[in-house]
Amino acid sequence: MKQLSPFAGWTALILGVTALITYLFLPEYTLLILTFVSIAGINAIFFFTVSRKEVIHALKTRTALYGMNTTVVILVFLGILVFINLLTHRHKFLWDVTETSAYTLSPQTRKIVQNLPRKVKLTAFIQAGNPGREDFQQLVDGYKELTDQIEVELVDPDRQPAVVKQYGVTTYGTVVFESGKQETKVKKATEENLTNALLQVTRDQQKKIYFLSGHKEKNLENKERSGYSQAKQALERDHYKVEPLLLLQTGQVPDDANVLIINGPEKALQESEIVAVEAYLNRGGAILLLLDPQQDAGLTPFLERWGIDIRDDLVIDPLAKLYGSDFTTPIVSPVADHPITRDIGQQTILPMLRSISAITTEGLETTPVLFSGPKSWAEKEYQSGRVQLDPGIDLQGPVPVAVVSSKIIKSANSAEEKQSAEPPTPSKKAHLVVVGDSDFASNQFFSLYGNGDFFLNTASWLAKEDNLISIRPRTRKWSPITLTDTQGNLISLLGIIVFPGLVILAGFRIWWKRRSL
């Protein structure tokens, strides 16, 4: 019996450690873990029963006392860690230190998720053991923390082929969104794609945005630097339907138009078109007008009636070179108290920009929303080649370069409604936003600074989609660390030899000192 005692002790120790490791890394193997624990327990009881006297004598030695003290310290330290872990589990706080806040949901996503009108079910078809499964779970957990309207189900396509066939999924990583009668699929689970899918399945009505055509405006299908293909794609990602509009054919702005965008016309609109545009506004419409320098498109009288003055000038900012821009490409600051610009939080860059001023007009509410820098000015004689500030001629900065004009449109039968017992028809409100540049939303500049957010926020505000007025999700930036051969060798030397060596030497010194006691 005495001879078997050491063997039983070592068996109990080895199987106990094996059971612990199996539980940590393979918790699903419950039967195997219980088997290891049972055999280890039987051997431990046998060992302590047979070698009781030797164990008690060993526990009274100086080495055992030091060991027990060390064990107590370790247990106290582990207890503190467990307590901290419980606190962090109950009171979660995330600190994203990545350059582009890659692990933080954007303000737009937070707005949309917190205002979901109904339940949304997400079914993700990701293989068990796939690293993308954990990434998806981490991303979608951020959504679930903001609302209880989202339900998530993870499906392993290899183990549940019937569910795969039911949803018609053909690609690993597909996420199916269901809400009411709406359904859509996402093949790449990024924040942008998930948020856009939430919009699609929770919005029963798809709002329509028309772009005026026929006057050499920026082309929506052009993917070159001067085109507007990125702007169109961004609007479609926000679940708008985007179509061109040729007023000379239709004769009026369609009734289903939620927003009309006129982006940089190089030819003047005909009088019948201007009448149709103003008639649309007087019906409570919404227009975004982007006018470049040297272009008025015959809209000056129309804009004056709506409390907006466009000048034939060019905004000059000598400080723009400090930001790496040309002096004709000023950095523009948004106004913080307007819904369009409130959440942007960063400047925009508008190349070749003209001033847009508000005119105080009865019945109209006009508000500038973008201003150039304090050292800038609007140069009136920019074509002469002599560029300098002329007080009394040039408009000194900060120069307004974007103005919002709003007007309450009263119903035609308002007088009859006053005498009638019927509840009055609510008044409509027309909105006109004029910006002194159209290139800022082109493919070349759309992704710079806050340009894309300003354009999309303006469209969303005009379309009365307040939950879309915010900062969009940012793409993750790849920022590799480049090291020279010397730096790489130094890091390898420190990490593989120096630091481990110091730890080993410190441990050996402590062991030698305690041995001599």
Per residue, the 3-state secondary structure of 182-212, as one string, reads EEEEECCCCHHHHHHHHHHHHCCCCCEEEEE
Both tokens assigned to 84: 């901290």
| Cβ pair 292, 354 in contact under 8 A | yes
Co-location of 269 and 353 in the same domain: yes
Shared domain for 39 and 176, answered yes or no, is no
Structure tokens at 191: 């924040």
- Kindly report the pTM of this predicted structure: 0.65
| Same structural domain, 253 and 360 | yes
Q: How confident is the model at residue 413 (pLDDT cuts 50, 70, 90)?
A: low
DSSP state of 223: -
SS percent in the chain: helix, strand, coil, step 5? 40, 20, 40
Q: Are residues 255 and 376 in the same domain?
A: yes
Return the higher-pLDDT residue of 434 and 171.
Answer: 434
Indicate whether 160 and 234 sit together in one domain. Answer: no
Q: Looking at the structure, do residues 133 and 278 belong to the same domain, yes or no? A: no
Termini Cα distance of the chain: 36
| Same domain membership, residue 85 and residue 127 | no
Is 476 part of a structural domain of the chain?
A: no
Q: What does the pLDDT read at residue 151?
A: 92
Burial environment of residue 301 by CB neighbours within 10 A (0 to 12, 13 to 18, 19 or more): exposed
Per-residue pLDDT for 356 more than 90?
A: yes
Could you write out the DSSP letters of every residue in 461-480?
Answer: HHTT-GGG-SPPPPPPP--P
Residue 346, token pair as written in the block: 């960063």
Residue 405 has pLDDT above 90, yes or no: yes
Q: How confident is the model at residue 195 (pLDDT cuts 50, 70, 90)?
A: confident
Mean pLDDT of all residues in 66-75:
80
Domain enclosing residue 120, as ranges: 107-199
Per-position b or e across 241-271, b if 16+ CB within 10 A of its CB = ebeebebeeeebbeeebbbbbbbbbeeebee
User: Tens of pLDDT along 252-289?
Assistant: 999 999 999 999 999 999 999 999 999 999 999 999 99
Beta strands at 395-396 and 377-379: parallel, antiparallel or unpaired: antiparallel
Q: Is residue 499 part of a domain?
A: no
**Does some domain include residue 356?**
yes
Same domain for 398 and 367, yes or no, is yes
Regarding whether 111 and 86 lie in a shared domain, the answer is no
- Same domain? 223 vs 153: no
- Residue 324: which region, alpha, beta or left (left: phi > 0; alpha: psi -120 to 50)? left
User: In this structure, what CATH number is given to the domain that contains residue 248?
Assistant: 3.40.50.880
Residues 437 and 382 in one domain: yes
Q: Are 434 and 308 in contact (CB under 8 A)?
A: yes
